[in-house]
Structure 1
Amino acid sequence: MKTLKVYIPGIKFPSISVTGNYCALSCAHCGRHYLEGMKKITRLSLVDKCFEMEKEGYFGCLLSGGMDSRLKVPLDKFKDEIRTIKEKTKLKINAHVGFIDKEDLEWLKYIDVVSLDFVGDNEVIKRVYKIDKTVNDYLKVLDILTEAGIRVAPHITIGLDFGKIHWEYKAVDILSKYPIDVLVLNVLIPTPGTEMENVKVSMEEALKVVRYAREKFNGELSIGCMRPFGKWREEFDKKAILIGVDRITNPPRKVLEWAKQSRNVEIYFECCVM
């Protein structure tokens, strides 16, 4: 019986923003909304916060934040703090990084895994992120990380193009050729106050992408933490588990109990890429 890994990160693996609620971008699907729910720290407080978290039994954290004018999450400005955390605690670090370059390898070597949002279509990048980047720029980041032996877990957000599903298949094809062991599939949440607040994503079309990824990708396939809530999530999660995903984040309790009837279930209190 294939084991299903269930991840519940919020309890012992918090998301931390190093930029507060600031982001230089105002993306169509986010509009800085998701920064609001993260813990906020400064350079002076990050190490103390992590020492405190280890004493309280936390397993690690996601270091994230908004992008700056360089289109990076400015974790390079925290490189000394990150090194101290890894040298003096047992905490694991997952990181959102943005468009890093080779100079960032100096501190990236202390990160356990990089979570990289990946978009496989130039026009979607322009429409949603409103930045002057292409698919090749994403591939440069992937090349830098994988060639340096840094573990990277790409994330595809199904329906990111204002609910339309098309580019996701090409993204799966591209990423399947890379030396990655976990591929994360998210689904767009129509978030109030954003340009996409009234967008609807077809569950059946989203599941077709999950099915395609399962056929194409040889590593572990994960359903990430971003997808609609309520009945939508309940039905989607069940069908994704039947398709054969290896990992799933924050499934409804009903789905968890249902999954135990047909799969061995292991529960982890950390990010699904760990």
Structure 2
Amino acid sequence: MKLPTHLETSIENLIQQAWQIRVENFPAEIEFVLPKRTKSISVTGTYCELNCAHCGGHYLKGMLPLSKNLEDLDYDSFLISGGCDKNGKVPIRPYMQILKKLKQHRRFNFHVGLLDEEDMEGLEEIADVISFDFVGDDATIREVYGLEKTVEDYLRTYRQLKKLVRVVPHISIGLRCGTLSGEFKALELLKNEGVDELVFIVFIPTHGTKLAHCSPPPIENVLHVLATARIMFPDIPIHLGCMRPGGAYRKQLDPLALRCGINKLVTPAPQAKEEAINLGLTIKHGEECCAL
């Protein structure tokens, strides 16, 4: 797929460099994920004390509330999430016994927020992976999450979780009302800390939230981040996750994201398949959350 003419030459060169690095380090294949075998569960139902500016509890409505009745559901894995308290953590610990019974032969992907060390107790027994939102900008933490926390708090939580279980950092591109604010800093910090896998998501202006009036980040900014990540992390899997705008935005982004060197693409636009064929990539298919 030809890059849009408005893209700066520097971005085009960056994408070409990223693609070459991917070719040198990975097989010629791409995984398209339709996560129908993973179900999202909220331990807090639709309640979220934090009420973040970009979400406002909207996405909790699409999750099943945690209950004993979930044990018979026919899914291979669960994403265990929920609303955050005022300190930015999902209250997992009070529900640990229910979660242990629910796990059985399923895999668990946890979204836990800024857990304290004591709240992590027992996670290593049932968590297969932690999806950890990693933010590289203090102002974004305050303005979007409404937290009086800093990047150092995110680093501290990341370090502690890594001691217990596999952690996959998630970086949201354009979270601060569609503008870049700390994404590259996050990459630098994670490079220093060590990371085995990365997932990127893209800010979605969501009706009824404080940031509903914003626009998603320009496509070229997303490509800049993705290509930079591939160059900085030449040999780890990099994925573009399910949380990103749909419609025309996704149709343009997805095929170009392949050229930035990603390894997985969740719920791809049809144009991504065409581009995969053009790039000589064999298409594989996945049915669970991309972090699993």
Give 1:202's match in structure 2, choosing from 218, 232, 251: 218
Q: Residue 239 of structure 1: SS of its match in structure 2?
A: helix
1:226 aligns to 2:251 (yes or no): no
Structure 2 residue aligned with 1:17: 42
Give 1:32's match in structure 2, choosing from 19, 40, 57: 57
Structure 2 residue aligned with 1:60: 77
Structure 1 CA distance for aligned equivalents of residues 176 and 89 of structure 2: 22
Structure 2 residue aligned with 1:168: 183
Which deviates the most, 250-259 or 180-189?
250-259
Which deviates the most, 14-23 or 95-104?
95-104
1:158 aligns to 2:173 (yes or no): yes
Structure 2 CA distance for aligned equivalents of residues 169 and 5 of structure 1: 25
CA contact (8 A) 1:82 1:107 kept: no
Structure 1 residue aligned with 2:119: 104
Give 1:256's match in structure 2, choosing from 264, 273, 282: 273
Letter in 1 for 2:220: E
Superposed, which structure 2 residues align to 1:9-158 within 5 Å?
9=35, 11-42=36-67, 45=68, 48-49=69-70, 51-53=71-73, 56=74, 58-86=75-103, 89-109=104-124, 110-148=126-164, 150-158=165-173
Structure 2 residue aligned with 1:212: 228
CA contact (8 A) 1:79 1:107 kept: yes
Root-mean-square deviation over aligned CA pairs = 1.6
Structure 2 residue aligned with 1:272: 290
Letter in 2 for 1:2: A
Query: What TM-score do the two structures reach when normalised by structure 2?
Result: 0.85
| Gap regions ≥5 residues in structure 1 | none
- Alignment deviations for residues 77-119 of structure 1 (CA, whole Å, 9 cap, x no partner): 1111223334xx2100001111112223422112000011111
Letter in 2 for 1:118: F
Structure 1 CA distance for aligned equivalents of residues 198 and 188 of structure 2: 12
Give 2:255's match in structure 1, choosing from 207, 219, 238: 238
Q: Residue 243 of structure 2: SS of its match in structure 1?
A: coil
- Alignment deviations for residues 204-235 of structure 1 (CA, whole Å, 9 cap, x no partner): 11110111111112411110111110111011
Relative distance call for 1:69 and 1:243 in structure 2 (3 A) is closer
Structure 1 CA distance for aligned equivalents of residues 230 and 65 of structure 2: 36
Letter in 2 for 1:63: I
Structure 2 CA distance for aligned equivalents of residues 107 and 193 of structure 1: 36
1:5 aligns to 2:20 (yes or no): no
How far has the Cα of 1:260 moved from its partner? 4.1
Letter in 2 for 1:272: C
Which deviates the most, 129-138 or 105-114?
105-114
How far has the Cα of 1:177 moved from its partner? 2.5
CA contact (8 A) 1:146 1:179 kept: no
Relative distance call for 1:76 and 1:64 in structure 2 (3 A) is same
Query: What TM-score do the two structures reach when normalised by structure 1?
Result: 0.90
How far has the Cα of 1:269 moved from its partner? 0.7
Structure 1 residue aligned with 2:9: none
Relative distance call for 1:131 and 1:76 in structure 2 (3 A) is same
Structure 1 CA distance for aligned equivalents of residues 57 and 238 of structure 2: 27
CA contact (8 A) 2:48 2:57 kept: yes
What's the % identity of the aligned pairs? 39
Structure 1 CA distance for aligned equivalents of residues 181 and 96 of structure 2: 38
Relative distance call for 1:177 and 1:219 in structure 2 (3 A) is farther
